[in-house]
Structure formats: structure tokens, C-alpha cells
Structure 1
Amino acid sequence: MKFDLTTLKKSTYLDLDSFAKNLREYLKISIEMSGGHYASPLGVVGITVAVHYVFNSPQDKLIFDTGHQCYAHKIITGRHEDFKFIRQAHGISGFPEPTESNHDHFRVGHAGTALAIAMGLSVIPSDDWVIVIVGDAAFANGVSLESLLLIHKAKRPVLIIVNDNVHSISDAVSSLRTMNSSRYEALALAADIDFAGTINGNEPLDLAVKLKKLKNLGKSSLIHVSTVKGYSDEYASSNPFKYHAIQSVIRKNLPPASKESSQEVLSQFLINAAHKSKLFFISIGMAETAGFGRIVKDSKIHYLDVGIAEHTGFTIAAAATKSFDFTFIHIYSTFLQRSADALLHDIGVNQSPVVLLVDRCGLGAEDGPTHHGIYDLAILRSCPMMEVYSCSNNNLFNIAQELFWKKRSAPLAIRIFKGGLINNSEKTILDRAMGICTHRYGDNITIISHGRILEECIKAADILEENNITCNVIELIKLHPISENTVSYFQNKGPVIIVEEHAETGSVGNIIGAMWKTLVPLKQVYITNKLTPHGDVFWQWEINKIDSSSIAKTCQEFLDEIKL
């Protein structure tokens, strides 16, 4: 069956439910092969079919919030065949992507943006519509609510479809999750726009009839649409958290990871600490997804999930330090950007001793540019009195004990990543005073790194050793501030190359380079300002030349330049 606009537009109203059913089956098969978001795209198929049937994309602009609801939209708007390669290198993105199609109007992966985008697209008067499909969890985001109260100023009709499935990635946590029709009507009234009622949106027929009437009215309005996340799949609908995203068939058959993760180690540490101290743990909606599920369930830990409310979570954390021995906040690196004001004003200026667990540091793999965790160091370093750490090896538990298990008078952050910790060899030496850990020893060149890319640096050292080039490989544990003594130590280990899975701005290499007061050769390797596209993370490392082979080649070329 063809899933395109032409076929859909030729359908009758009575054909729509069948069209949606077949589209969902195609989605299931395709996502199982490629991997990707699963429960959310299934739940929004009915809404997507109804919207495209009634409105005229791309003249009428369709905006998704959160962006991964766009899967069915992509298929309908001419990317049927390409969808088999969604989120893969050189394939289409799992989020709206204007370079793919004129039916995608804004690149977006974070939640809470759609209503503001709708306002930006509605400044110039037009009869064309802007249609916003916003999930109930994203609708509770502060940016969404701020923008909602401005929609009445739009110069073109804006239709707000609240896709209410009572979930974020896990359960929705704001009071909006229990809102009934009358409360949504009150919100629309406060926003000075019409309320179009509540309707079931799992199947498109009834919704399409309703949308046609709203279109004929030509006025901005809000409609509350009830859906089931994971609709039509008994497993996904009964456990939407587990099936929020699924792995491809190939990855499902891979053996499980044998290395302990940062999240597992820190979870155990915090559970132990909670039996001795009063501990508060704040999640920005991702704790269970990230691997901190044990903390959520531990009765000794005071736990609060604030949902998609980064700024709010950070301000709560700053104030909570007045009542708790230790206050932790867990956030993905890519979402840290959204909390910058609260980090600086509420935590930094107040010198609140919050401990930040900055997760998913590094490139965003299949999620692509909107989810790269490569900008956080620049933000963290700008926070007054902030200390920043990273540990990629088995010393993490002991380092956490030294850093966390004492009273602090200033904030601290530790960068962690997805994947297993590096198993130390008998030659690994941790220098706590300088905040470094040496993993390899050699005479020809020194590689300095931090985070998960350290393992690629160790592999590069092994490659170079086969060519009779021996390397020091030094892991930076303390990333900020870096002492003069540490830099002086590095200057005696030259020539030096610093490899980072981070953007140039804010990188450790930039700081060390500014402190470098010697003629010892120094080279920096980092993620360039060019946006790295979505794809397997190993491929992303290769194109940024921070994989083991590229690092070894760069070291060899660096040594050759020095000899000249």
C-alpha cells in the first residue's frame, strides 16, 4: 500500500481508519529493523493521518513536540522508502529535518518548543494554518505555557492539538496529567483562544471530521486529544516506558555489555550514602531511562522527578541544599543547555552545594545534532566556584566517595556517559592530587583525554606501539579548574596531544593551551563546529577523527611534523 499524500487525499473519510492501521503495521516492521522511538510514533498515527487529510502540508505547517512523534508524518510526506533507514548514517533523521523535506519546518529534538515556533511562523498575516501536535508532558514545559499565553497574538490561525497519552518517557509528573476537559478549556480561555473539546484520537475518522469543522471556522483553537502510547501493540501499550524506544533486530542479538556502567556505580554509591545521610535526588524526567532506576525505588532516598522542567529542577535543587546533607540532580548533557540561567543564578551565585550528574556526555549517536552532549563544559566552567570531574575507569566509586562524601560550600559536576567503564590494568596509576589517571607509559608522545573516548586513545596507543612508538595515555579526572602544577606536569611529558569528545569552545584543550608556557609541542583534537549528523557513534567518531585509527594517524603525523 502507498502511504503518501496523494493516496491519503484521494481516500474517503471511511477509508482513514484502514489507512492508519496499515501505516501502523508498516511502522512496526520498519522500526523493528532499524531501531528507534516506538511507542510514541504508534500512538500519534491517528492524529497524523487526520491532520494530513484535512490540512494542506507544506502550505499549512505541521510542528511536532516532542519531535520523535514525526515518524508517520515522514512516511506520508514522501519518505516511505527512506524510512527503512531512519536514524542510520546517511539515512533520514528521527526528528523533523528541513534539509530532508519542505514538509519539515524546523529542526527540533527537545521538548517544549512547538508553540514558540508556531508564534514565530505566525508573525506575518496569512490564511495558511500552523498545526501544533504537542504531547501532554511537553505541554507542561515552561516554554510551552509561556508561548500558549501569546498565541492569541498570532497573525494566522494556529491549531493546538494536545496529544494526551499520560506519559513522558516514563509517567508524566505534572498536574496536567490528570487534567480533564474542563481544565483544558480553562487553559484555552486563559490563552484567549477557542477550546474545541476532547476527542479520542487513536483512530483518525472522528478526529478528521472534527478538524474539518475547525478548519472551516478559521480561528485559533486548542483541542484535547486522548491517545494510547503504543496503540495497536499490546506490549508497547501495556509498558510504554519499556517500549519508548527499541533496538534494531541486529542489536537485540548482540551479547549484553560485560562492563559496569557509570550509572550502576553511582547508583550503588548513592544508595549506600542514603543510609548514613539525608539525601535528595532530582531527576529531569530521565533517571529510569538512564539507568538510575534503583534510586527511584529506594525508600531511603528523597526523590523528585520534575519532568521536562530543567530550569525549575535546578532552582529546586539550589533551595533544597538548605534542608539536605547532599542534593543531587541528574540531567542529560544536551538538556543542561536549557538550565543555564538557573545554574548560574540560583546555584552559582548562591554557592549552593548541588552535585550535578551530567549524563550522556559525548556525541548523540542516532539521535543526532539535537542530542549531542558536547557543549556542557563551556556552561559548567562559567558557573562560579564550580568544579567539574570525569572518570571513565574502575576508580569511579572511590572518586565519588572522596568528592561527594563531605560537606561542600560550592557546586560540583561529574560528567558520565552511556556505556561501560574501562577496566584498569595493573599499571594504571591514579594521582588524586593532580586529578589524573595514567593508563599507558611511553617515551615518544603523550595523549591526554577524558570521558568514553579515552578507550579509543588507549587503543590508539596499542596501534602506535606496533610501529615502535610508545605513548603515555593520561586520563583527566579533574576537568575544571586545572592547576598550574598539572599543566607543568604535562609540559614535561611532551610532545602532547589532547583528544576530546567535546566542542572546541569550553574544551579542556583550550584551557590547557592558554596555560601552556613552553615550546613543547601541543596539539588539540576536538569536535568541530560543523554539526555531526545522526548515525552509529563509532561512525561519528570516525568522521570527527577521534576513533582509535584516526588518533594513531594524527599522533604519527604530529611526530613527523615535529621532526621537520
Structure 2
Amino acid sequence: MFKVLDKIHSPEDLKSLDRDDLNRLSHEIRKYLVDVISVTGGHLSSNLGVVELTIALHYVFNSPVDKLIWDVGHQSYVHKILTGRKEALKTVRQYQGLSGFPKRLESEHDCFDVGHSSTSISAAIGYAVARDMNKDDYSVVAIIGDGALTAGMAFEALNNGAQMKKNFIVILNDNQMSIGKNVGGMAEYLDTIRTGHVYKEIKHDVHKVFDRIPVVGKMLTKGVREIKDAFKQVFIPGMFFEEMGYTYLGPIDGHAVPQIIKVLNQARRIEGPVLIHVNTIKGKGYHHAEINPSKFHGTKPFITTNGEALVKKAANTKKTYGELMGDQLIQYIEDGHKIAGITAAMPDGTGMTRFMKKYPKAFFDVGIAEQHAVTFAAGLGLSGIKPFVAIYSTFLQRAYDQVLHDVCIQKIPVVFMLDRAGLVGEDGETHQGVFDLSYLNHMPNMTVMAPMDSETFKDMMAFALTYMDGPIAIRYPKGEAPFFGYDKSPIVYGKSEVLETGQDIAILAVGSMVDEALKASAMVKSSVTIVDARFVKPIDYDQIDRLAATHKYLLIAEENTMIGGYGSEVLRYVHQKGYDIKVEIMGIKDDFIEHGSRNKLMEILGLTANHIAAYIERYNR
């Protein structure tokens, strides 16, 4: 089917290709990506943008001896195709299939596991230093996007890398997009470089003049150098990187394979750190992805001819928790509350798009900078503005110190909206939001809540809006928010809610696990008490006292690691009080969870209604 691609089984197969074959290979890889991802789902637009760059990298360098380190990694599909995983790509992000990110256990060509952004330069410096300490001989290349370059970690690494003066290459893949549109000073700076034709034209004319001047003695040579340095200060693209200590090359066309190969070969010969600025188009070669790259960043299966989702969302489907949050924020503004919505480069993913468009002055996208987002919110919170910080559970881990040090110690009333809490499925180990209950639970002054459905979620947001005694985190899963129709009581600080009353077994369920508990109760004949925990911190100790006095068995169900979570604190309390009740925790064991559909993972981990029903039957014989 593919004239060139079918002959590529390893990077070595690229070396013999001529220019026409390389161009043909680019077209064939793009078609293959669209064909495969339209069936499996996955990251499409980012991979379409790096086809030529990836081909050139493997044409010039010798992986796995040379180290190619991909930042974030969702643009590594082309790398996987060229390193012998073309057929395996058909299983991408499926349970026990190919990971959507570089994974060392998967291939020797993947030299660093990634999933969170802005790590590649740090890892590359580590490789470069170790290479020289071990007296080895190989090249190290970090590929980082312009969106990932907004994170503080990337700047820390750039600064340290310049100080180290080691030989390594940073490739800045500049497509003017992360998941959403890039924001901030770095985005504006890169934009001026992309359009900076003045320097190139003047530089050419000045060099023609310099070439006609006879260089007589060191003074004139020194003078020419000083003139050139002064000239660079005013006009040179990439002067920021040059001043840091990097040799800057670019910007170059990221879709011209011969040009990229030429610059890569040039960079290999330069002593010290080099930064190559490559301009690419996200979604390149597939019209629908080019005009709407965010839609095809992480896509479900779609129809290739029109780009529409294979399974369209029904008109009467429920809203996601993120969409509900955005609606509530709009309502709070209209009700006269002084609030701010903050996100870290994820306005679409967190459900803030409508709020952003309707009230742009109250919306703040700080870029991929979770640490800054949290402390920025702290400043707002101390100034009479109620900040709602919407960040995925897995990404808030990056701002642990800021949450603890800058918010909790000062008891600032910041509201953390933790999206994608629990199992998120196909993105795998790096994205599963199964640690937040544990890393927030031990923070003094922190309140942690988890809604069972859409109405509880809105009640919790309303409670958090007026709560001024410290920070509150509301954690909720990916996807649509269910509605159970219970006549629930108002939110009272630290209090749970009894949904069903029985005599045999009590189930304390957190957030998403309430649904599973209710389903399990309907499957068995036993008389079951079901309690919606509502608050993970503080725990409703009075409720536990009552359950311990009336039940012999207590099951705690949470979509979180069992270490340090809700269940462990309940168990500690029961043990401390000496209650005669058997407590079992249903949660996630001490392990990282691989990729796969959420339903599949819930089944494997024993977190379904069937597993709860089996527990009930086991203890009610």
C-alpha cells in the first residue's frame, strides 16, 4: 500500500533514501496517521506537525545510541513508526497496547518516559553530563514545544544547560500552539522571531560591506566583532537564547526535510549547547486538523472525509463537570460576585471556554505554569477576589509546594477545581488522577470535597464560593456528570449524606464511587447503608461513630490510591476508637496504572458495582 513507508522497519532504513523518497515518506506517514488514529483515537494534530522533523532527526542521528528526548511525548507517534512500531500503532492507548507517550519499557529508542510537559531539556542535560563522565560518544537532542517552553522548569533547565557548557541540542518545535493557543511573553517573543525578516536582510547587506574591508590587525577585527554584537542586540532573532549561552539556529521551515537535515548536521559540529528554532504547522497535511488543531489534539475515532466524530454526542446528553463549572462561574459573575477563573493552558479541557469568551477580564490562562497559577491565585485571594483554579488532578501535582506553602499556610480561600480526578483511561500512568486525595489530605487548613453527581457538584461550588476560612479542593472525574435525583440535604461543612439505610453492611463512597455503590445495592438482597462521603477532609467522624454502633462491616470505596487516602484516615480513626467493626478499603493499590479505557481499568482494579456486590455477598452469608 505504501511504497516507501512499508520498507521502513528501523531508523537505519532511512539512511539510503534520496530526497524524493523522503518527501514521499512524509506524505505516506501522514496518511497512515490519519487512517490509524481515525480508528483508534489519539493525538493527531501534534504528530502531523512533526513528520518532517522526526524523519530528519532519525536520518541524521543514530537512535538508540544517540538520545532523542521528546517533551510531553504526545508527538512521538512518528518516532514510534520509524523505530519499528508501525503495526503496533494500531493498538495505541488501548489496554496492553502501545502507549501514547514514549516509554522505556516499550522500546530501546524511547530513552525517557514522559507525559507531563517541560522535562526534556533537564533530562537531556543529565544524559549529556553522564556521557562525558563515562567518556562515551553520542549526541543528545531534546525536542520541546513552544507551549512547553512557558513552564518554569524549562527555563531552569535552559539556564543550567548554558552554565554546564555541554554539547547537546535543543529543538524548539514552534507551532504557535500547545493544546490551546499559547499565551504570555514567550509566545509574543517567538512570534516576533517568526516574522523577523528585517535582521536577515540587513545582516546580508552588512556582511557584503564587511567582506570588502581589508582586515588589518587585531583592532579592526575586534571592532568588527563589537559592531556585530551591538547589531545582534537590536536585530537578531533568538538573542534571548544567545545571551543565555546557546548558539541559536533558525528559525527554519520545519516541513522542509533537506533544510532540517542541513541544520542538524551543522548543529552536531558546534561546541556547546545549541538551540534550533523550527517552525511547524500543527495538523499539517490534514485539512480538518489544520483549521482546528485543538479538536484533533486528543481525538476520539472520527470520519476521515469530514473530520466529524464517529460517535456524535447526543443532543440530550448530560454536561461534563467542567462545562457545569464554567456555567457556574458565569452565573457568579452575573450575580455580582468578584471571582476569577484560572487555568494552565487548558481552557477547553477544563470547561472554561464559555466563561473565557463571556468574561475575558475575569479569566486568566497562565500557560503551562501550574506553580505560578497557584501562587497567582493566592495573591488574588488575599485581595478580595475569589479565585477558582481549574487544573487536572495529575498536573496539580506539579504545584504541590505552592498549594502547601503559599496557600494552606496562609489559609487563603482559593478554590481548586480538580478535573480528571480518578482514572482517566487512555493517557495512562502519567495522567491518572489517583493521588490527589492523598497529597491534599495531609495538608493543614485544606478542605477536600468530592461530588456524587451534578447537583452535588453545583452545591459544593456554591459552598466554596462563600467559604472564607481556607482553601477548598473539589475533585471530580472526566466525562459527563450523572444526576441521581435524590432529595439531598444542603452542604454542611464536614458532613456526609446518607442515601440508603440498611442493617447489614455500610458503604462509605467517595465521589464517583457512589454510583458504583448504588448499582451494587440494587444487585443484592442484603440491607445496605450507603453514605455519600461528600467531604474527604474533614471526615464526618460523627457518621463513622453511628455506623460503627449499628453495623458489623464497613466498606470504603474511593477512586484514589489507598495509601494516604480517605479510607486510610477512616481506618485510623476506627482503630483509635477501638470500634468492633470490620473495615475494608476498596481503592487503588500501590502501583501506577497503565493506559486503557476507564471501564476496562475499573474492572481490572476491582472498582466496579460487581466487585462491591461480591463484597456484600461475601460478608452477608
| TM-score of the aligned structures, taking structure 2 as reference length | 0.86
Indicate the residue corresponding to 1:227 in structure 2: 280
Q: What is the letter of the counterpart of residue 512 of structure 1?
A: V
**More displaced 10-residue stretch of structure 1: 189-198 or 220-229:** 189-198
Question: What is the deviation of 1:300?
Answer: 7.3
Alignment partner for residue 259 of structure 1, among 311, 318, 321? 318
Change (3 A) 1:430 1:408: closer
Deviation at 1:431, TM superposition (A): 7.1
Change (3 A) 1:323 1:140: same
Contact preservation (8 Å) 1:201, 1:207: yes
Aligned match for 1:74, one of 63, 72, 80: 80
User: Distance in 2 between the 1:420 and 1:434 partners?
Assistant: 26
> Which is worse superposed, 502-511 or 122-131?
122-131
- 2:433 is the alignment partner of 1:373: yes
The one-letter amino acid paired with 1:149 is: N
Provide the secondary structure at the position in 2 that maps to 1:41: helix
Over 3 Å counting, the alpha-carbon distance change for 1:432 and 1:347 in structure 2 is closer
Q: Deviations over 1:18-72 (max 9, x none)?
A: 2111111111111111001111111011111110000000000101112101110
2-side partners of 1:165 and 1:205: how far apart? 19
Match of 1:442 in 2: 502
Which residues in structure 2 correspond to 1:337-376 (within 5 Å)? 337-376=397-436
For 1:139 and 1:431, how far apart are their aligned partners in 2? 42
Question: Displacement of 1:519 after TM fit?
Answer: 0.8
Post-superposition Cα deviations, 1:320-345, rounded to whole Å, max 9, x if no partner, equal 11333411111110011100111111
* Aligned pairs for 1:488-527 within 5 A: 488-494=545-551, 495-516=553-574, 517=577, 518-527=579-588
Match of 1:534 among 595, 600, 609: 595
Separation in structure 2 between the aligned mates of residue 394 and residue 159 of structure 1, nearest angstrom: 49
1:108 aligns with 2:118: no
- The amino acid of 2:387's aligned partner reads T
d(CA) in 2 for partners of 1:380 and 1:301?
30
1:425 is displaced (CA, Å) by 4.0
Q: Distance in 1 between matches of 2:413 and 2:247?
A: 46
Q: Provide the C-alpha distance between the structure 1 equivalents of 2:452 and 2:150, rounded to a whole number of angstroms.
A: 36
Question: Which of 206, 227, 230 does residue 259 from structure 2 map onto?
Answer: 206
Q: Hey, what does 2:224 align to over in structure 1? A: none
- In 2, Cα distance between the equivalents of 1:326 and 1:452? 27
* Residue 142 (structure 1) shift: 0.5
The aligned residue for residue 353 of structure 2 is: 293
1:423-443: CA deviation from partner (whole Å, max 9, x where unpaired): 224576667465223333333
CA drift at 1:493: 4.6
Q: CA deviation at 1:225?
A: 0.3
Question: 2:561 corresponds to which letter in structure 1?
Answer: A
How big is the shift at 1:497? 0.3
Shift of residue 541 of structure 1? 0.6
CA distance change for structure 1 residues 241 and 558 in 2, over 3 Å: closer, same or farther?
Answer: same
Report the CA distance shift for 1:313/1:551 in structure 2 as closer, same or farther (over 3 A): same
Write the letter of the residue equivalent to 1:89.
Y
Indicate if the aligned counterparts of 1:142 and 1:309 stay in contact, CA closer than 8 A.
yes
Q: Deviations over 1:432-471 (max 9, x none)?
A: 465223333333211111122321222222222xxx2232
Unaligned regions of 5+ residues in structure 2, if any? 194-234, 304-308
1:10 aligns to 2:69 (yes or no): no
Query: Partners in 2 of 1:472 and 1:390 — Cα distance?
Result: 19
Q: CA 1:339–1:474 in 2, change beyond 3 Å: closer, same or farther?
A: same
Q: Secondary structure, in 3 states, of the residue corresponding to 2:129?
A: coil
Aligned residue number for residue 280 of structure 1: 340
For 1:270, the aligned partner's letter is: L
* Contact kept? 1:361, 1:416, Cα under 8 Å: yes
Going from structure 1 to structure 2, the CA distance change for 1:20 and 1:394 (only over 3 Å counts) comes to: closer
What does 1:17-36 correspond to in 2, within 5 Å? 17-36=23-42
In structure 2, the partner of 1:485 is 542
Is this contact kept in 1: 2:124–2:168, CA < 8 A? yes
- Aligned equivalents of 1:62 and 1:230: distance in 2? 22
Give 1:50's aligned residue: 56
Relative to structure 1, is the Cα distance of residues 493 and 102 closer, same or farther in structure 2, using a 3 angstrom cutoff? farther
Letter in 2 for 1:18: R
Q: Distance in 1 between matches of 2:275 and 2:65?
A: 20
Once the two structures are overlaid, the 10-residue window that deviates more, 240-249 or 341-350, is 240-249
Q: Does 1:174 align with 2:184?
A: yes
Deviation at 1:217, TM superposition (A): 3.7
One-letter code aligned to 1:555:
I
Match of 2:153 among 143, 159, 166: 143
Q: Is the 8 A contact 1:97 1:107 kept in 2?
A: yes
**1:395 pairs with one of 455, 468, 472:** 455
CA offset digits 1:347-366 (Å, max 9, x no partner): 11222111111111011200
Secondary structure, aligned partner of 1:122 = helix
Cα 1:110/1:184, change in 2 over 3 Å: farther
Partners of 2:445 and 2:237 in 1: how far apart?
Answer: 44
Aligned equivalents of 1:300, 1:199: Cα separation in 2: 34
Alpha-carbon distance, 1:219 to partner? 4.4
User: Bigger shift: 498-507 or 176-185?
Assistant: 176-185
Partners in 1 of 2:458 and 2:60 — Cα distance?
A: 60
The verdict on how the C-alpha distance between 1:19 and 1:397 changes in structure 2, with shifts beyond 3 A counting, is: closer
| Distance 1:493-1:155 versus aligned 2 partners, 3 A rule | farther
1:115-164 CA distance string (max 9 Å, x none): 11111212221320111110001012110110011213558521110000
Mean CA deviation greater in 346-355 or 211-220: 211-220
State the shift of 1:96 in Å.
0.5
- Indicate conservation of the 8 Å contact 2:449/2:460, yes or no: no
Distance 1:310 1:190 in 2: 27
Q: Corresponding residue for 2:482?
A: 422
Q: Which moved more, 1:217-226 or 1:149-158?
A: 149-158
1:213: how far off?
2.2
Structure-1 residue corresponding to 2:198? none
- In structure 1, what is the Cα distance between the partners aligned to 2:268 and 2:183? 33
Moved more, 122-131 or 157-166: 122-131
Deviates more, 1:203-212 or 1:430-439: 430-439
- 8 A Cα contact 2:424 2:478, kept in partner: no
What's the counterpart of residue 529 of structure 2?
Answer: 472
Q: Deviations over 1:58-89 (max 9, x none)?
A: 00010111210111001100101100110001
Preserved CA contact (<8 Å) 1:16 1:205: no
Give, in angstroms, the shift of residue 91 of structure 1: 0.5
Q: CA deviation at 1:279?
A: 1.2
Aligned to 2:373: 313
RMSD: 2.1
What secondary structure does 1:290 align onto?
coil
Q: Is the 8 A contact 2:459 2:491 kept in 1?
A: no
Please say which structure displays the higher CA radius of gyration. Answer: 2
For residues 511 and 247 of structure 2, what CA distance do their matches in structure 1 show? 51
Q: Distance in 2 between matches of 1:485 and 1:512?
A: 12
Whole-angstrom CA distance in 2 between matches of 1:249 and 1:457: 34
Range 117-126 or range 130-139, more displaced:
117-126
Aligned residue in 1 for 2:223: none
Q: Distance in 1 between matches of 2:369 and 2:101?
A: 21
SS in structure 1 of the partner of residue 64 of structure 2 = coil
Instruction: Report if aligned partners of 1:188, 1:221 keep a CA contact under 8 Å in 2.
Output: no
Equivalent-residue separation in structure 2 for 1:431 and 1:253 (angstroms): 37
**CA shift digits 1:156-211 (9 cap, x unpaired):** 52111000001110100122222244676223223322112210102322111221
Tell me, in whole angstroms, the C-alpha distance in 1 between the residues paired with 2:49 and 2:283: 5
Q: Does structure 2 conserve the Cα–Cα contact (< 8 Å) formed by 1:306 and 1:313?
A: yes
The structural deviation recorded for 1:11 is 0.7
- Distance in 1 between the 2:149 and 2:179 partners? 14
| Counterpart secondary structure, 1:497 | strand
In 2, Cα distance between the equivalents of 1:205 and 1:439? Answer: 66
